[in-house]
Structure 1
Amino acid sequence: MSDEAPTPETWQDLALSELRQQRDALQSEIAELSNRRDQLQQDIASSFAGQSDSIARRVKGFQDYLVGALQELAVSAEQMDLVVQPLVVQPSPLDQVAAEQAAAAAAIPTAPVAPTGLFSNDEDLIRERLASFQGQPDFYADPWKLRRSLEANGAALLEDWFLNQGGRGAQPSSGSRNRNALTTAAAISILGELYGERFQTLVLAGMPERLGEWRRGLQDCLGLNREDFGPNSGIVLFERADALIERADRLEERGELPFIVVDAAEAAVEVPILQFPIWLAFAGSPSELALEDDLL
């Protein structure tokens, strides 16, 4: 056997052979890892798609359930008898005579009863002004006079508020603060003709942004300046109900009339507000209130 030392060419061949073996092993591992990666991606994609489909089916099912429930509730509400039927009690013989006498008295014709309320004597003026507000807008009217055109639903709202509610009650919101400001401006214009400078408008809206919308809306509709909004001016804006109530009390002590307006975003009307003779609260719809919550 020969004990000759390997030549450089032999060492080079051995090194290249080992490198080739390592390269083949690495390529095999890389190929295996690539296959596992592709499999994992397929599993993730199929799992996510399955979960998405499942979630979508659940959401769609819950939506269908809500729609069906609301439709059933609406049908039930329409069919519900909301008038409580009085309990019929058979009168005694002694009461029968009194009942016959009362029926005979009721059969006698009587004069129609005139409507009651703070504005019952001003019905003609109120109807005339509401009709004129629905015509062409008077952009150059004097300050404190309505300069914009009032929509028919706003005129109907004010007619009900003035003549049926006597200037005290809640009315549905017109859908936006600008429209509610327009309706309020029409009311202020009419109240100005009836009471002159003896009344002051107090607006309650719980945030500065809302009060800013009220100020801009009333300023535009009535041709006012910024100086017309302040403690000693015709319109005062409030974020808190207690401050508004205190101001209204002071006005009444001086013999003046507070006209209180409550923004549609207010959750409720404070009980002390109900004691004042003129107040208008706008009741916001659920969608309108939800939009207000989203803007917060």
Structure 2
Amino acid sequence: MSDITSPPESDSEPLPQPEPLQPAPLQPEPGARNELMELALLDLRERRAALLSEIEALEQRRRQLDTDLDGSPSGRADGIARRLKGFQDYLVVALQDLASQAEQMDLVVQPLQVQPSPLDPAPEAPASMAAAVQPVPPPAAGQFSQDAELIRERLTRFQGQPDFYADPWKLRRSLEPAAAALLDDWFLNQGGRGAQPSTGSRNRNALITAGAVAILGDLYGDRFQTLVLAGEPERLGEWRRGLQDCLGLAREDFGPNSGIVLFERPDALIERADRLEERGELPFIVIDAAEQVVDIPVLQFPLWLAFAATASELALEQDLP
């Protein structure tokens, strides 16, 4: 047998195999695409309508609850509690202002006085020296401490003969010693801020106020305005006539642009006092004895005098029609 020889290996590369044919992706027709979009939009519209319906139902429920709360005792109590909370915040701010004003006051420390023991022998003094000793007034405190000498000199003069022809805004009547002592205490011990017992008569209270106005005029000139609070027109009329007589004033001196302004409501007075301070002027607030309560905002101002009525005076005011 003849040997079978294998064919010689060829140097050429094998032929590439053909790739299998892939089916082309199907493209949706334009009509089908529009139908899908319409279905999606319809679903969104239905969801939106459902949400709006739920929101409207919740709004109606909320309005119904508000109506029920306003009409129920618990709802009214909640409203009152909110108002009380607001008033409490207002009081806190007012008291903070009051404390700040008190801290800014120029207080003078009273000197410590040691009383001698009854067992100590009394020192003997010559009769001439004992006759020459005069009582020394206590040191003044507050914003009028530097003006104590002038104030006491004016109060001493006011207790003399009345000057019926004095210039306007000067005191034309005489002060009794008790009234002068009241003003001395108000100016020099209370620093021009405090309550004093009423004299039992609105005319006498007006006389004391006129004395204070005359002294303040000597100290501040035209840079202050007197604001009188009395809750009824009849009381304001008495104040106007009393101040007009004691200070030699005319009707033109009573008004918003004049030296004395009369008020029936405390809120209007406080608003006027705030405006005066904004203009750099000084309000002097006077509160009638019939006003049983001093509003807290009044306490923030540097000058205020409140007359505290006696029991008989309050009873008389209540009996009046």
Query: Normalised by the shorter chain, which TM-score bucket?
Result: 0.5 to 0.7
Counterpart of 2:299 (choices 269, 274, 289) is: 274
Counterpart of 1:222 (choices 234, 239, 247) is: 247
C-alpha offsets along residues 236-266 of structure 1, whole Å, 9 cap, x if unaligned?
0000000000000000000000000000000
**TM-score normalised by structure 2 residue count:** 0.57
- 5+ residue gaps, structure 1, are 1-105, 107-112
Percent of residue pairs identical: 80
C-alpha offsets along residues 2-56 of structure 1, whole Å, 9 cap, x if unaligned?
xxxxxxxxxxxxxxxxxxxxxxxxxxxxxxxxxxxxxxxxxxxxxxxxxxxxxxx
Cα displacement (A) at 1:116: 3.4
CA distance in 2, matches of 1:151, 1:214: 19
Please provide the CA RMSD for this pair. 1.3
CA distance in 1, matches of 2:317, 2:176: 24
Cα displacement (A) at 1:295: 1.2
Does the CA contact (< 8 Å) of 2:230 and 2:291 recur in 1? yes
Aligned residues: 185
CA distance in 1, matches of 2:162, 2:225: 24
CA distance in 1, matches of 2:270, 2:194: 16
Question: Quick check: 1:251 aligned with 2:276?
Answer: yes
The one-letter amino acid of 1:188's match is V
Does the CA contact (< 8 Å) of 2:194 and 2:305 recur in 1? yes
Counterpart in 2 of 1:168? 193
Counterpart in 1 of 2:146? 121
The one-letter amino acid of 1:277's match is P
**TM-score normalised by structure 1 residue count:** 0.61
- Report the structure number with the largest CA radius of gyration: 2
Cα displacement (A) at 1:267: 1.2
Query: After superposition, where does 1:129-278 map in structure 2 within 5 Å?
Result: 129-278=154-303
CA distance in 2, matches of 1:268, 1:220: 28
* Secondary structure of the structure 2 residue equivalent to 1:158: helix
CA distance in 1, matches of 2:284, 2:168: 18
Question: Quick check: 1:292 aligned with 2:317?
Answer: yes
* Secondary structure of the structure 2 residue equivalent to 1:237: strand
When you count helix as a share of all residues, which structure comes out higher? 1
Cα displacement (A) at 1:215: 0.1
Deviating beyond 4 angstroms after TM superposition, the runs of 4 or more aligned structure 1 residues are none
Change (3 A) 1:168 1:231: same
C-alpha offsets along residues 89-144 of structure 1, whole Å, 9 cap, x if unaligned?
xxxxxxxxxxxxxxxxx9xxxxxx96431100000000000000000000000000
